[in-house]
Every structure is written in C-alpha cells, then in structure tokens.
Amino acid sequence: MRRRETRFSGADGVRWRAIAAVLAIALLSLTVRAQTAGQTAAGRTVRTAAGAAIDVLPVHGQVHLLASAGGNAAVQVGPQGVLVVDTMTEALADPLLQAIATLADGKPIRYVVNTHAHPDHTGGNAKIAAAGSQLVAGNFLGQLGAAGARSAFIVAHENVLNALSAPKAGEPALPFAAWPTDTFFQDRKDMYFNGEAVQLIHVPGAHTDGDSLVFFRSSDVICAGDVYVTTSYPRIDLARGGHVNGIIEALNQLVDLVVSEQFTEGGTQVIPGHGRISDELDVVEYRDMMTIVRDRVQDMVKRGLSLDQVTAARPTLDWDTRYGSDRGAWTTALFVEAVFRNVASTSTASR
C-alpha cells in the first residue's frame, strides 16, 4: 500500500512538474512576445497638432520605415545609435524627431543620410542633425570642438551639397547647418554602423544628379529615394540633371541588388521615396513600365512626332489608372514631356 501511494505520488509529482514546466514556458513566451512588441513599435503613429501623421513600421532587421503623406524616411537603430535616411519637410522635423525617439531607446542620432537634395527629403536636416551627436573620440573630438561634436554627420553625394548650397530660383535656401558634412563623388561610399555594412550607391543622372540608393546589407533593406516611388510616375528633375535613361539604369541596379525569397516575392525589402514597402516583383514591374514608356516615346520621336502628337497618343495609357495624375506637381503630361525632351535630345546628340 505504501509502495502504491509512493508510486502514485511519484507519478503525480512528474505530472505536476510537467504542468509547471509548460506553464513556465507559456509565461516566458508571453513575456518575450510583450517585450518584442514594445521594441518593434509596430504600427505606431505620431500625430502633429496640424493633423499630419508619421507612421512607424518595422521593415527588416534594424531598419524601420517612417512614413508621412509627403514622403518616407527610414531609421536604422542599434547599439551604436541611430542612422536616419532622409528628413522629410522642415515642417515635419519635430514629429519626425518624436517618431525617431519612440525607436531610439535613448540612443543618440549619429548619422543623417540624404538620398537626394529635394526639400521633402532634406527639409528636416538641420533639426534632426542638431538633435544628434557625432561618434568621435580622442584627438578628433578636440579638433572638432564641443560645438562640432554636438551635431550628427550629414552624409550624401557631392551633388546634394552642390544643390543645397546653391539653390535654383524657386527652391528654398536651407541653412548651413542643413548641408551635408560628409560627401562622396565616387560610385559608392561604404559605411559600417551598428554592426552592419551600409552602402551608399550613387546612381548618376536619374531622378536628379545626386541620387543614392542606401543599402543596409545585414538588415537586407534598401532605401531607394525617389528613383523608385509607388505613388506616381518617376519624377525626372530636368533642371537638376535628371534623365529617363538614368532612372531605368537605377531601377536595373536596384533589381540586381534585390533578392526575392520565393517566386519573386518577399526577400530584400525596398523603401521607396514615396509610397509602400516593396519587394523585387514591385521594382521589376516599375522598371518594365518605365522602359516600355521610354521605348514608345523613343519610337514616336524617331518617326518625327511632335510633343503634342506624342502626348495625344497616350504612351502611358496602360498605367494611368495606377500612376497617372491630372493635378499636382507631377502630372502625366509633365512626365511624358520630360521623357520626350530626354529622348529627343539624346537622339539629336547621337545623330
């Protein structure tokens, strides 16, 4: 009898220990999940008094998207601090800082990177950089002086500095504090921050003359700037050296860098200058659209059609419901005209 009791209590003990272990694992996983939700800050929105909103979304690895109606920014957050890609408009600088603070966990902003010079991507440069500090020490700190170290580096292609320091008529003049402090003129600038390689890849003569793709190699995310957008036809800034062939080249480079997970879906994530997070298939479709439109216009120019005739032939018809617009700063007519001017001048030059 005693032996049976002992046996029963032994079996009960095993059962209770098993139940306790299952409960402990369940509790642990709940705790981990709660912490993860807090850290990733999925779906958070920062609202301004004026009614504007910045949505905060995790993308991959250390990179988050900060999305506003006026355009996208991104942040990489890690043990060394925060790297910010693009700074939206000047009006959104304060809510952008608030949105960054929800992810930064008290860590300082070390770098601002600009994909190009337009004011909807550089407007907050001065405020965002001033809120940060440089990652320097020892002799360098002495050379910079206290004031110099109190602001984050601003990194961009040399032509971004040229554009911001010499604005054309109608472009806003940004203060000296908003200008890039660290520029490059080669094809590529390599950085290493928060334990991952970050590459700035210059794509010449595309949306402007100073566009860079920003590639976070471990996080597997690329910020494309305005060479790739999901909300409109690509804007070709003719006054700033933009060209349809450069945009197609930039999209081809992007397609080369992006690796899909399965059946061209998933994998490397692309953050457009405006619009939603994309994968390889999205970029391939956009590249194909841009190439087909360019080829159609090129063919019409070769046949001697005028701009009015090309516009009337509607070379973009297949995509107008998705990307076209009759209003705003970048209409379908302006897009077709820019492609026409690029193609016409190229074919004249090659004659």
CA atoms of 184 and 157, how far apart (whole Å): 5
CA atoms of 75 and 61, how far apart (whole Å): 11
Stretch that binds Zn ion, among 168-176, 180-188, 220-228, 327-335 (CB under 5 A): 220-228
Quick check: 226 binds Zn ion (CB under 5 A)? yes
Q: Which is nearer to Zn ion, 196 or 211 (CB)?
A: 211
Distance of CA 239 to the CA centre of its chain: 23
Q: How far is the CB of 262 from Zn ion (least distance, A)?
A: 32
CA atoms of 31 and 21, how far apart (whole Å): 15
Q: Which helix (H) or strand (E) holds 287?
A: helix 280-302
* Length of the chain (residues): 351
Could you tell me which residues are beta bridge partners of residue 170? none
Quick check: 274 binds Zn ion (CB under 5 A)? no
Q: How far is the CB of 242 from Zn ion (least distance, A)?
A: 9
Quick check: 209 binds Zn ion (CB under 5 A)? no
71-78 vs 81-85, strand pairing mode: antiparallel
Q: Which is nearer to Zn ion, 219 or 332 (CB)?
A: 332
Q: Which is nearer to Zn ion, 132 or 234 (CB)?
A: 234
Stretch that binds Zn ion, among 110-118, 152-160, 190-198, 333-341 (CB under 5 A): 110-118
Q: Which is nearer to Zn ion, 226 or 279 (CB)?
A: 226
Q: How far is the CB of 224 from Zn ion (least distance, A)?
A: 11
CA atoms of 225 and 11, how far apart (whole Å): 64
Give the residue, chosen from 64, 110, 118, 240, that forms a contact with Zn ion under the rule CB under 5 A: 118
**273: Cβ–Cβ under 8 A, 6 or more apart, which residues?**
71, 72, 86, 115, 121, 207, 224, 225, 226, 227, 228, 229
Stretch that binds Zn ion, among 46-54, 55-63, 82-90, 221-229 (CB under 5 A): 221-229
Q: Which is nearer to Zn ion, 118 or 157 (CB)?
A: 118
Evaluate whether 68 touches 273 at the Cβ level (below 8 Å): no
Quick check: 211 binds Zn ion (CB under 5 A)? no
Six-digit token pair at 274? 């405006």
Quick check: 240 binds Zn ion (CB under 5 A)? no
Q: How far is the CB of 208 from Zn ion (least distance, A)?
A: 7
Q: Which is nearer to Zn ion, 132 or 241 (CB)?
A: 241
CA atoms of 194 and 158, how far apart (whole Å): 24
Q: How far is the CB of 119 from Zn ion (least distance, A)?
A: 9
Report the interface residues with Zn ion, using CB under 5 A.
118, 226
